[in-house]
Amino acid sequence: MPPTLTLKSGTSWTDAWQRCLTAAPEAFRDDRVLNLWNAAWQPDGRPLPAVSPVDGTPVAGPPRLDRATARQAVRAALDQHRAWRHVPLPERRARVAATLDALTEHRELLALLLVWEIGKPWRLAKADVDRAIDGVRWYVDGIDGMLAGRAPLDGPVSNIASWNYPMSVLAHALLVQALAGNAVIAKTPTDGGVACLTLAAALAAREGIPVTLVSGGGGELSEALVRAPEIGCVSFVGGRDTGAAVATAVADLGKRHILEQEGLNTWGIWNHSDWDTLSAVIPKLFDYGKQRCTAYPRFVVQRGLFDDFLAAYLPAVRTLRVGHPLAVEHPADPPPPLDFGPVINAAKAKELHDQVAEAIDRGAVPLHRGTPSEARFLPGQDTSAYVQPVTLLNPPPSSPLHHAEPFGPVDTIVLVDTEAELLAAMNASNGALVATLSTDDRSTYDRLAPQIRAFKVGHGVPRSRGDRDELFGGFGASWRGAFVGGDLLVHAVTQGPAGERLPGNFPEYQLMP
């Protein structure tokens, strides 16, 4: 019998919440978080009930503002922007550096909030916080050259991001944008991360960073955060449906924009024989249950290599460790080294279960399905947000799993016979953020890789969003607007020489760095 597990000592949601009340009493009340606008924490908005995907524990929900209050917050952010843009760069750098020191001091609390709010395993939660801190420090050290000949925008930068990387994507972007001379606005993701972002915003606001943090639904806040004339730039990370609406709005207004959208990232196998290397990387591709914009949910495999592929893939996927991120055998044990915990909520888990069942019913072949008995859970805990890893062969064209990113631990495999079929299958979603081609022959890679519609293409290795000086963008419907990373992130939120054409994917032009 497996050992009975218990919650690691000192890591309950109640423990985390009490630490928030102590660390930033200005931003937290006994039963809710506050919104931050007009340089003050505001007890407005209607808090929504929320539960942790980890085990159904009630957690702090977002205090949703109405449309009129959101407009007031944006107007106040413009006033902050007009003052902040004239703050000398050395002072801005010092304030951002002080914020990073404060984030470092509260690193473990920020990570613990990520575990409870969005279900990240402890290892990945700490990495999310560390990537934010280390990434912004790189900009603090090199910002002088990046800003040469450039000025802040005419209005604040509005940030709308998905829930999966509150620190390394959203908080990172906010601090770099502020370092470049802009006031910044962020909408807390509806599905999770509000307490973590509130704590991060409180630490930044204490250092005088002009940050606005508000909660609300897209329908109530989009007019203020996207269409308002005060907004100098819109930065969006999320799905294609919402992103398309934002893209239409900013295009109509001629507004500066950075819109990162999902795509079906694919891994191709063609004339390949290094199966040990592939097998070693398979478990890493399941980090955080593939709830990442750079996850690889689709393998496109040469038919003649399918048996060798399965011999490498199946043993690797059977090693995946799934369960409660804080369940341990003894209270003092370290958190378990999991590959992933829950998906973001029970509704998403049901959606994935339904999609898998429907695909199988329509002809997909199940090659692997994990079982709950193999997972690490507390006795009697709510497991409604957990999805065990699944692998399907040939999902039917009628299934969403055929053409869209599942955003969960579901792999699909498509078999092909020709290079033309390989490329067509790897380009199934009209653009992607990353892709990989595993082939023994370098000349084959060099010939095929430029025909794969992904911003980054790896040769037998996974690609990621990147850190520091690594550029990032997308092709087709996976990206709209300016590319980011390195100098480009700063250039995207500042004004350069007259007539400047930023590298990016715009309606009127496409320009690679």
The rounded mean pLDDT for the chain is 95
Q: How far apart are the two ends of the chain, measured CA to CA in Å?
A: 57
- % of the chain at pLDDT higher than 90: 89
Question: Does 231 share its domain with 337?
Answer: no
Per-residue model confidence as pLDDT tens digits over 40-57: 999 999 999 999 999 999
User: Phi and psi of 291, rounded to 5°?
Assistant: -90, 55
Let me know whether 289 and 436 are in one domain: yes
Rounded CA separation 425/94 (Å): 49
Residue 251: pLDDT over 90: no
Residue range 356-385: mean pLDDT, rounded:
95
How far is Cα 513 from Cα 510, in angstroms, rounded to an integer?
10
In a domain, 282, yes or no: yes
Residue 239, pLDDT score: 80
State residue 14's pLDDT score: 98
Q: Give the separation between CA 187 and CA 207, rounded to whole angstroms.
A: 20
Given a cut of 90, whether residue 507 has pLDDT beyond it is no
Residue 128 pLDDT level (bands cut at 50, 70, 90): very high
Mean pLDDT of 248-252: 74
Q: Is residue 28 part of a domain?
A: no
Q: Select from 286, 269, 252, 277 the least CA-distant residue to 121.
A: 286
| Same domain, residue pair 322 and 221 | no
24-38, 88-102, 208-222, 344-358: range with lowest mean pLDDT: 208-222
Residue 106 has pLDDT above 90, yes or no: yes
For residue 1, the model assigns a pLDDT of 61
The pLDDT of residue 384 is above 70: yes
Q: Quote the pLDDT of residue 244.
A: 73
Within a domain: 503:
no
pLDDT (tens digit per residue) in 157-181: 999 999 999 999 999 999 999 999 9
Average pLDDT over residues 421-446: 96
Same domain for 59 and 128? Answer: yes
Beta bridge partners of 215: 64
pLDDT band at 254 (very low <50, low <70, confident <90, very high): confident
370/314 same-domain check: yes
> Which residue is listed with tokens 């478990």?
283
Mean pLDDT across 389-410:
95
* Residue pair 287/339 in contact by the 8 Å Cβ criterion: yes
- Assess if residue 325 is contained within a domain: yes
Q: pTM (2 decimals)?
A: 0.96
Q: Is the residue at 188 inside a domain?
A: yes
Domain count along the chain:
2
- Nearest by Cα to 189 from 104, 117, 240: 117
Check whether residue 120 and residue 229 sit in a common domain: yes
For residue 405, the SS3 value is coil
Can you tell me the distance from the alpha carbon of 152 to that of 504, in angstroms, rounded to the nearest whole number?
19
**Does residue 300 share a domain with residue 166?**
no
Same domain, 160 and 187: yes
Residues 128 and 276 occupy one common structural domain: no
252 shares its domain with 290: no
Does 246 lie in the same domain as 119?
Answer: yes
Q: Which domain holds residue 391?
A: 266-459
Mean of the pLDDT values across residues 65-90?
Answer: 97
In a domain, 98, yes or no: yes
Helix (H) or strand (E) holding 412: strand 410-416
Question: Has residue 123 got a pLDDT over 90?
Answer: yes
Q: What are phi and psi of 204, to 5 degrees?
A: -70, -45
Measured N-to-C along each axis, helices 172-179 and 122-146 cross at an angle, to the nearest 10 degrees, of 10
Residue with the two structure tokens 């502020």: 178
From residue 286, alpha-carbon distances to 104, 289, 316 in Å are: 27, 5, 11
**CATH code, domain carrying 338:** 3.40.309.10
In a domain, 256, yes or no: yes
The CATH number of residue 115's host domain is 3.40.605.10
**Residue at 229 is within a domain:** yes
The answer to whether 474 and 432 have CB atoms below 8 angstroms apart is yes
pLDDT classification of 246: cutoffs 50, 70, 90: confident
- Position 346 scores a pLDDT of 98
Q: Are 131 and 194 contained in the same domain?
A: yes
pLDDT, mean of residues 2-12? 93
Q: Which pLDDT band, with edges at 50, 70 and 90, does 253 fall under?
A: confident
